[in-house]
Structure 1
Amino acid sequence: MNRLCKAVCTFAIALSTTVTCLRAFGQATILDDVQRLAPGVVADTALGYIYGYPLMMFGVTGRIGNNVPDAMTKLGGAPLNQFGKEMVLPDATFAAVVLPSTSTLYASSFLNLCQEPVILHIPNMSGRFFILQMLDGWTEVSAQSPGTRLGSMEGDYVLVGPDCGAYKQPLITGNFVDVIRMPTSSMWIIGRIYTSGSDSDINYIKSSIYPGLTLTPWSKYKQGEPYTPPDTLSTQPYGDVVTPPVRQVDAMEACAFFGNLASMLYYNPPVKQQDDLAVLALKRLGVVAGQPFDCTTLRDDKLNSIQQGLILAKKILDTNIATRPTRTGWTVSLDVGNYGVRYLLRAEVAKDALGANRAVDAVYGYTQTDGSGNALNGSKNYVIHFKKPGLNQGIPPVSSKAFWSLTIYDANGKLVPSPDSTVEWNAVGIPMVQNHPACPNSDGSLDIYLQPTTPTNVQQKCNWLPTPPKSGYIAFLRLYMPDQVVLDGDWIPPAIGSN
């Protein structure tokens, strides 16, 4: 094995992969391209890119979400340190985000904790399932994320970042439910609140829960007076707010990527000791927190090596080698949300499912193939048979305080319109999704039918999910507060079979 292959294989091991050198780095042509280059710079660039990719995705997503004058102009958007609250469930015309949930209303906020803490107030949820997932700038999820699983109470929660430059975080005193300390100044709250989908239930959330779900700057909170967020902020004239974040980040040249990364590192410090090797790799490239990264000062050979390292890193990300489907064809993520040194997995999740929950709060599974490995065809009839509860491949096992749902999306991640005016749902689940209960069999099992036309059988129609005729599609499963059997990998979704 030559020096280059040894170098890149060492890099692959550092990324916690278990694949061979050739598989980890794709086709032999990639190796042929980099054999002529200095392997140290190539490897440093690839490691630095994959290590920093989630932070860049976080930054671009936040910039797009925050570039609005108020919290009502754009769905999911809100100024910094304010909640953007979803007022209606999506339907087949919805295109703001891909794979939208039809069983939860979202309340999302990007925060900057550099100048002062922020007070989060959680209202009385009256036993309703919710999770306020809290991510740092690296997309690591805080174990203190309030929600039903933790039995989080009504009251005030203090969100505190690290000391930021000359600013030192204040001593927190007072009658707070919890003090949540984030390791980075950048923070993202993704709130999910269960709704049965009825008009009355959605109206209850809007009138009785949303008004009490608030964010207040520490300085305003200490004044003891009601705080109203500004609603006439100016937007930034620069920056693309239309192109999806993943396309923007993937289109960045090396100089732009590492220049932006150096700036973001100042507010989002790496984890000491854990990330030391990645930080050293970036430093050898000239990428240092808070300092400009100027490609014009680099020698041509080093710049060329950096460009080749970027190609290598993108090739690695495109192979999705850190995730593999189950034997029934579903890809189920059980080890996301907290990553440590698993930089490749973290980058893959940021690329494909930015904002993933920890498995103890939610497990997602998806497939685009049937049980034989063939691509799903919207013109064909399929069935998913969930056995009775308590069995592997049975009814998804989740807490009685939570729920599960199965949704069908077209190949672009949009909900599929129903050809039947009497069917207004895009998902089936338990206890209820989109104001529609599932219809189990007499033995407790459940059959869900995937087909383009309305079933003639009444029970089949109750469990029918329309599919897009003549095209492929995505089956997406959500399990909130899954039982331990799911977390241990002893339960997997059943294969999709022909009907």
Structure 2
Amino acid sequence: MTSGTNGTIFSRGASRRDILRQGFALPAAASLAMLTKSSFAIAADDDLATLHLAYRYGLPLYDNARVTYLVSQSPLNPLRVAPNFFLHGRKLADYHSRLVTTPNTDTLYSVAIVDLTAGPVLLKVPEFGKRYYSIALIDAFTNNSDYVGSRATGGQAATYVIVPPGYDKALPDGAKRLHANTPHTTLLVRILIDGPDDYDDVHDLQNGLKLTQANTPPAPSLIAPDPRDPENFVALVNQVLRINPPPAADQAALKRLAAVGVGAESGALTASQKALWAKYFDEAQKALLAEIHGFGATHDGWTYLPSDVGNFGTDYATRAAIAITGLWVNIPAEAVYTFAGLDSKGEKLVGSKNYRLRLPAGAPPTDSFWSLSIYEVEPDGRLFFTDNPLHRYAISDRTQGLKKNADGSLDIFIQRASPGGDKESNWLPAPEGDFRLVARAYLPRPELLDGRFKYPSVEPVA
């Protein structure tokens, strides 16, 4: 029997440069606030159009497998863990956190790559009480197949059995069934933390998470990713499709993609397919980035994501767009993510200007917690924190000393220099150049889910 909990995520070991050489950085990405769904339409049925569709279909599978390789196989990751063991993130992100785009300062993360090919896996969860947490089961196609957590199951200690597709045998007494869509799945744990003083308690909860399995699965053997190599891209996507049968609804798309060598039954690329991928792979990547502007519904400078985020079905456009900015997004019932890159005048948010965001009393409407994070925009579109005098990268419902207005509203001052005096408690320091805001609302109330609530615009101020 195997059992495991382990380590600290990427706090030491290989440098980012070494990791990048092995293909572990997220693809060059644009903010979700700059994506467009309509631009993903591909009308022509020729090989070039099919290759573009294959890239969009395959990118989430590839990126998921790339991170799986990093966590469980990469020789450059000294903290890699075998499948069915946890890898824990022990510290909050700051401006040094540059490996994965759009980090947050709300939760600590734990991750486990679960291999169900040798049978079900037992998950033991400690008592969380009233502290927010979630454990998402994410399949090889980046859909959330099941949840444990404050919303889904409550804060009590419990034992669960993660079962592969089609498993219908009886479970141990007292255990609850969790359904995995694919034999290889990811457990992503998010635990709310109230700053560094809360580390010890959260680390104890992380250590209380346990995975056990009666039979040891075979050693992982994913193809090492190389995002610069089109043949590597196709080979890894096809490997994922072979070891994780795709949903029945994908068969129509996969029938078309076979023409460019993508599919579980596809062998090595033919000479003509190799030539096609070699000629147009870079174009497919650039086209995806060039086309992604205005994705989702935009209101007063804020972009609201589609309702199928996190369970995409055949909406390959949304799935590809989400994969570009970051894998493993929550479903809306768990968390709503909203993005701002424009002010009330429709102009880009830039560090040379001063802004104010006035949140009405009780906003955003959530039954758990909220935060507003600020990110500098890298040349490739990725988003990271910037160092600042307060070492503050977000304002949230847990930020100490916030001063509200007489009507209960909250003014957040977003600018490079301190607003001075009693406004500094509500200051969110901005980077020098372009920046983005990301509002997170966990356990959103119906008015946020159905669109009745809208964030107010970000106002330029003198």
Note whether the superposition's TM-score is higher than 0.5.
yes
Residue type at the aligned position of 1:466: P
1:119 paired to 2:122: yes
Q: Is the 8 A contact 2:258 2:266 kept in 1?
A: no
Q: Superposed, which structure 2 residues align to 1:191-340 within 5 Å?
A: 191-199=189-197, 201-207=198-204, 209-219=205-215, 239=224, 248-249=226-227, 251-253=228-230, 255-272=231-248, 274-289=249-264, 292-296=267-271, 300=272, 304=275, 310=281, 313-314=284-285, 317-318=288-289, 319-320=291-292, 323-335=295-307, 336-340=309-313
Distance 1:411 1:286 in 2: 35
Per-residue CA distance 1:305-363 (angstroms, 9 max, x = gap)? 55667567445522126813522112222420011111111111111221111000001
Name the structure 1 match of 2:131: 128
| Local SS of the residue matching 1:44 | helix
Q: Superposed, which structure 2 residues align to 1:69-468 within 5 Å?
A: 73-74=78-79, 78-142=81-145, 144-152=146-154, 153-162=156-165, 171-199=169-197, 201-207=198-204, 209-219=205-215, 239=224, 248-249=226-227, 251-253=228-230, 255-272=231-248, 274-289=249-264, 292-296=267-271, 300=272, 304=275, 310=281, 313-314=284-285, 317-318=288-289, 319-320=291-292, 323-335=295-307, 336-389=309-362, 395-399=363-367, 402-412=368-378, 413-419=383-389, 423-430=390-397, 432-433=398-399, 436-458=400-422, 460-468=423-431
1:48 paired to 2:48: no
Per-residue CA distance 1:69-98 (angstroms, 9 max, x = gap)? 899x55xx5432221112121222333322
Residue type at the aligned position of 1:346: R
Q: Aligned pair in 2 of structure 1 residues 54, 305: CA closer, same or farther (>3 Å)?
A: same
| Local SS of the residue matching 2:299 | coil
Per-residue CA distance 1:215-253 (angstroms, 9 max, x = gap)? 112348xxxxxxxxxxxxx9999946xxxxxxx54x332
**How far 1:211 moved relative to its partner?**
2.0
Residue type at the aligned position of 1:270: P
Q: Is the 8 A contact 1:326 1:332 kept in 2?
A: yes
Distance 2:274 2:193 in 1: 53
Per-residue CA distance 1:284-324 (angstroms, 9 max, x = gap)? 4444426532334xxx4x65555667567445522126813
- Which of 56, 67, 79 is the matching residue for 1:61? 67
Distance 1:161 1:476 in 2: 35
Name the structure 1 match of 2:12: none
| Local SS of the residue matching 1:127 | coil
Q: Superposed, which structure 2 residues align to 1:30-41 within 5 Å?
A: 39-41=45-47
**How far 1:283 moved relative to its partner?**
3.2
Per-residue CA distance 1:10-55 (angstroms, 9 max, x = gap)? xxxxxxx984xxx5569xxxx9xx9xxxx44334333333222211
| Local SS of the residue matching 1:110 | strand
Name the structure 1 match of 2:435: 473
Q: Which has the larger radius of gyration?
A: 1
The TM-score, its normalising length taken from structure 1, stands at 0.76
Q: Is the 8 A contact 1:263 1:292 kept in 2?
A: no
Q: Is the 8 A contact 1:70 1:79 kept in 2?
A: no
Distance 1:83 1:70 in 2: 18
Distance 2:255 2:278 in 1: 19
Gaps of 5+ in 2: 1-35
| Local SS of the residue matching 1:275 | helix
**CA-atom RMSD, angstroms?**
3.0
| Local SS of the residue matching 2:70 | helix
Gaps of 5+ in 1: 1-16, 164-168, 221-233, 241-247, 390-394
Task: State how many pairs are aligned.
Answer: 418
| Local SS of the residue matching 2:134 | strand
Bigger proportion of residues as strand: 2
Name the structure 2 match of 1:231: none
Q: Aligned pair in 2 of structure 1 residues 322, 476: CA closer, same or farther (>3 Å)?
A: closer
Residue type at the aligned position of 1:320: I
Per-residue CA distance 1:144-194 (angstroms, 9 max, x = gap)? 31111123331111112237xxxxx58242124421121211211111101
Q: Aligned pair in 2 of structure 1 residues 68, 206: CA closer, same or farther (>3 Å)?
A: farther
| Local SS of the residue matching 1:259 | helix
Q: Is the 8 A contact 2:69 2:222 kept in 1?
A: no
Distance 1:159 1:82 in 2: 14
The TM-score, its normalising length taken from structure 2, stands at 0.82
Distance 2:100 2:213 in 1: 29
Q: Aligned pair in 2 of structure 1 residues 66, 219: CA closer, same or farther (>3 Å)?
A: closer
Distance 2:95 2:392 in 1: 10
Residue type at the aligned position of 2:433: S
Residue type at the aligned position of 2:353: K
Q: Aligned pair in 2 of structure 1 residues 344, 321: CA closer, same or farther (>3 Å)?
A: farther
Distance 1:95 1:340 in 2: 31
| Local SS of the residue matching 1:145 | strand
1:496 paired to 2:458: yes
Distance 2:117 2:401 in 1: 46
